Amino acid sequence: MRRFEFVEGSSSKFWEPELKGNTFIVTYGRIGTAGQRREKAFADEAGARKEYEKKVAEKLREGYREVTEGGAA
């Protein structure tokens, strides 16, 4: 699973996107906590992938940095 972190000033947050079929799942919160989990179902897998890619690009623009990819540290 990919993991993105934003650590700047008093902010210390993580964001983990995941695709499971036609469902886009995000776990997010403060680093050191379990965080919150949100799931959004789409009509098809292509729609879920499009949302996944859009949100990853958005987080990178916001200053998040990827710390893992594909489960590797």
pLDDT at site 53: 97
What is the predicted pLDDT for the residue at 69? Answer: 58
- CA separation, residue 24 to residues 9, 10, 35, 49, 73 (Å): 30, 29, 16, 8, 22
**Integer angstrom CA distances of residue 12 from 6, 54, 55, 58, 63:** 6, 22, 19, 18, 12
The CATH number, out of the four listed (2.20.140.10, 2.60.120.260, 1.10.10.920, 3.30.1360.170), of the domain defined by the range 3-68: 2.20.140.10
Domain residue extents for the chain: 3-68
Q: What is the pLDDT of residue 1?
A: 87
Q: What is the pLDDT along the chain (73 residues), one digit of tens a residue?
A: 899 999 999 999 999 999 999 999 999 999 999 999 999 999 999 999 999 999 999 999 999 999 975 444 4
